[in-house]
């Protein structure tokens, strides 16, 4: 066996930061115009150009919806009215030039007295080094930055609901991208129903009539949801164009397929696509309209009917796959493939399914009724099969369903999907969704499996593409990714992953379990140790496959793209191709505590030799904010530094530590 010494070459700092910055998307940090250093140099909010939409007659809209729902036709829940525009934000926005040659463009959309705003871009193209934010100053609601990764071949993009009646669209344009960005808005959706209510205040004041959904409903993070920690990340609230220029809410969830290859198949309901509600047939236009839908995952509260709204993640657009009116199912495929390690988000889950017709002992529903934060409904009661043996009939023990629940999954007691919401059945002379006799019917997945007999009207071809014939399939969580971790002498850690655990290294972020360190990994299905990772003599390393429960603490995944995609990179080169062993030089370490931080963060570097060291703090654009060491000759051993939050804004930064032979980059998050 040939043994080889590989020298690690340091990487130019700006290159590292550029490669990191360009892959960030939707990290929910403050827009650049609100940076304390930039803000005094640009125009004030009062100087920004804006449009003011009309205010619709909301009473008339609510009356129209009530009259439409007086017949027996099942329709989606409506929440907004779209106004047509032709807005070229590049030409009509307010521009500011920065000293480094970059530019900021801002434009304000005002909808008087609206609860929320959606924007539909008929053409959106974000250049490679540019970013877009959406935010509302009065409510401190920020979404972004969005990068070129959201661009699509057809050019369209739809935002999910943005809180408030005044939304600022901000483009940060790199000096390298001037003339390359396109932002054309053709629809502004005025939200006249409130999905962002202060629920904690409502419960405290006991003004229960102000709740978005019925008082019997329970948040998914109530005790009923304790065993549903994975499945709640499969469910999304849908914002979609409906009939008469209205927009509405539906629900749905991701489904696994027998190849376990993370194709983002999304199960929802036929009647959310069917805008011509009288014919029960989907036109090509209705199928194509799903490219205008938006999907918000992880939209729930931290606690049980209380607490803050957790970080969520939005995707825009889908492709039509199949649908069948009889069971009211529709299967879509998201246009954007979800990735592991989306910032501060716990990765999506692909539900398992069961196509048997056995009556389950209990059933559970996860859904967004009336556009509300995610709820959980449970039935321990009797269940039946109705509508010519095509639908499950559910009598709820806890919770209920309402408008907006349409398309949401029904799970059996094995936590596999067996159907999706079609319609509710109210007892005579009652419209109370919490009435004890209120029932819900779900189109049966077992019947939808063969559906109308063609690939376009059934599930079989898509969920079992190789025709294996399996009748049940377990769900699968996106892989939990962990890169660039140094477990040091004396440290003891146990880490869990629901399904797949992937470990890896690259030049700037080695994964090493050092002498005297103890690391235990547990995963539900697979543990993958990428080339270049090192488990050193004198360490204790245990990797086991076992069932992971919701009581096991599962940390957030890292984003592989942050490390350039090729995790092994040049550390050492081609280690995954041949079977040579490598002597890796002893490595310096960089530790930051606490992280995230509020007031002060301690930065500790440990040098294995006397080294010439540079240590700096950079912002997301690669600008050096603080220099702690600049090619300083330091002795072997430990060196401590302190970074204070003074003059820094909340958000993400990068600590870059370089010596002659190596470079380490770590994220640092400030939360004020």
200: left (phi over 0), alpha (psi -120 to 50) or beta: alpha
Q: Which residue, 155, 154, 119, is CA-closest to 136?
A: 119
DSSP for 420-459, please give it.
EEEEEEPPTT---TT-TT-EEEEEEHHHHTTTTSSGGG-S
Q: What does residue 341 show for φ and ψ, rounded to 5 degrees?
A: 80, 25
Q: Percentage of the chain surpassing pLDDT 70? A: 86
Q: What is the Cα Rg of the chain in Å?
A: 26
Residue 149 has pLDDT above 60, yes or no: yes
Q: Where are the domains of the chain?
A: 13-17+589-670, 31-191, 199-203+224-473, 479-583
Cα 634 versus chain centre, distance: 43
> Could you say which of 3.40.1620.10, 3.20.20.140, 3.40.50.620, 2.40.10.10 is the CATH number of the domain covering 199-203+224-473?
2.40.10.10
Give burial (CB, 10 Å; 0-12/13-18/19+) of 21.
buried
Q: What is the pLDDT of residue 2?
A: 27
What length does the chain have?
Answer: 672
Average pLDDT rounded to a whole number, residues 217-233 = 95
Token code pair at residue 571: 């550390």
> Could you say which of 3.20.20.80, 3.60.15.10, 2.60.40.1930, 3.40.50.2300 is the CATH number of the domain covering 13-17+589-670?
2.60.40.1930
Q: What is the pLDDT of residue 661?
A: 62
- Higher per-residue confidence, 581 vs 304: 304
Checking DSSP bridges between strand 663-670 and strand 624-634, what pairing results, if any? Answer: unpaired
Residue 581 has pLDDT above 80, yes or no: no
Of the pLDDT bands very low, low, confident and very high (cuts 50, 70, 90), residue 671 is: confident
Of the pLDDT bands very low, low, confident and very high (cuts 50, 70, 90), residue 622 is: low
- Higher per-residue confidence, 503 vs 120: 120
Is 322 in a helix, a strand, or coil? strand
CATH fold of 31-191 = Jelly Rolls (2.60.120)
Average pLDDT rounded to a whole number, residues 391-397 = 94
CA distance 370 to 408: 12
Give per-residue pLDDT as tens, 450-498.
999 999 999 999 999 999 999 999 999 999 988 878 888 888 999 999 9
Give per-residue pLDDT as tens, 658-668.
777 666 777 78
Q: What is the pLDDT of residue 154?
A: 93
């Amino acid at each position: 066996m040939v043994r080889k010494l590989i020298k690690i070459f340091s990487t130019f700092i700006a290159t590292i930061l550029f490669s990191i910055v360009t892959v960030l998307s939707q990290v929910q940090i403050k827009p650049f115009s609100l940076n304390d250093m930039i803000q005094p140099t640009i125009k004030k909010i009062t100087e920004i150009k804006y449009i003011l939409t009309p205010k619709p007659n909301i009473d008339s809209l609510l009356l129209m919806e009530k009259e439409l729902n007086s017949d027996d036709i099942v329709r989606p829940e409506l929440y907004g009215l779209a106004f047509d525009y032709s807005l070229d934000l590049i030409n009509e926005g307010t521009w500011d030039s920065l000293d480094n040659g970059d530019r900021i463009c801002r434009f304000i959309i005002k909808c008087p007295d609206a609860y929320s705003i959606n924007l539909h871009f008929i053409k959106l193209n974000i250049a490679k080094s540019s970013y877009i934010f959406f935010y509302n100053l009065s409510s401190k609601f920020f979404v972004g930055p969005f990068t070129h990764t959201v661009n699509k071949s057809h050019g369209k993009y739809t935002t999910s609901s943005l809180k408030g009646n005044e939304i600022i669209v901000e483009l940060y344009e790199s000096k390298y991208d001037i003339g390359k960005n396109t932002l054309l808005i053709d629809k502004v959706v005025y939200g006249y129903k409130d999905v962002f209510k202060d629920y904690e205040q409502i419960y405290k004041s006991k003004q229960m009539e102000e709740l978005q959904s019925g008082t019997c409903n329970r948040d998914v993070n109530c005790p009923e949801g304790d065993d549903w920690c994975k499945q709640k990340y499969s469910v999304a609230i849908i914002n979609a164009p409906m009939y008469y220029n209205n927009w509405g809410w539906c629900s749905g969830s991701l489904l696994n397929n027998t190849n376990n290859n993370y194709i983002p198949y999304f199960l929802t309901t036929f009647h959310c696509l069917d805008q011509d509600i009288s014919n029960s047939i989907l036109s090509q236009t209705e199928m194509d309209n799903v490219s205008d839908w938006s999907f918000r995952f992880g939209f729930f509260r931290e606690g049980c009917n209380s607490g803050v709204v957790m970080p969520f993640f939005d995707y825009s657009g889908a492709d039509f796959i199949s649908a069948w009116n009889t069971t009211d199912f529709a299967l879509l495929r998201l246009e954007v493939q979800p990735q592991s390690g989306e910032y501060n988000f716990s990765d999506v889950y692909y539900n398992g399914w069961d196509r048997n017709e056995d009556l389950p002992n209990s059933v559970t529903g996860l859904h967004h009724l009336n556009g509300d934060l995610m709820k959980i409904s449970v039935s321990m009661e009797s269940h039946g099969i109705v509508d010519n043996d095509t639908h499950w009939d559910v009598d709820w023990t806890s919770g209920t369903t309402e408008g907006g629940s349409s398309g949401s999954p029904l799970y059996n007691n094995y936590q596999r999907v067996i159907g999706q919401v079609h319609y509710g059945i109210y007892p005579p002379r009652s419209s109370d969704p919490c009435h004890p006799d209120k029932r819900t019917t779900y189109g049966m997945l077992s019947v939808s499996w063969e559906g109308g007999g063609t690939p376009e009207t059934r599930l079989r071809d898509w969920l079992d593409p190789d025709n294996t014939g399996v009748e049940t399939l377990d769900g699968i969580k996106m892989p939990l990714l962990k890169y660039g971790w140094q477990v040091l002498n004396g440290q003891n850690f146990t880490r869990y992953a629901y399904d797949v655990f992937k470990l890896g290294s690259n030049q700037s972020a080695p994964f090493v379990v050092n002498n005297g360190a103890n690391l235990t990994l547990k995963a539900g299905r697979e543990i993958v140790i990428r080339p270049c990772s090192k488990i050193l003599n004198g360490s204790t390393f245990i990797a086991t496959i076992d069932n992971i429960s919701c009581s096991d603490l599962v940390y957030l995944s890292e984003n592989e793209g942050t490390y350039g995609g090729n995790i092994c990179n040049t550390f050492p080169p081609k280690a995954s191709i041949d079977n040579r062993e490598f002597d890796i030089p002893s490595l310096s370490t960089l530790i930051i505590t606490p992280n995230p931080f509020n007031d002060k963060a301690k930065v500790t570097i440990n040098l294995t030799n006397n080294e010439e060291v540079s240590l700096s703090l950079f912002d997301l654009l690669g600008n050096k904010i603080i220099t702690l060491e600049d090619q300083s000759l330091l002795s072997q051993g430990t060196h401590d530094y302190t970074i204070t939050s003074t003059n820094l804004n909340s958000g993400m930064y990068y600590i870059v530590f370089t010596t002659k032979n190596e470079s380490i980059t770590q994220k640092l998050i400030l939360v004020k």
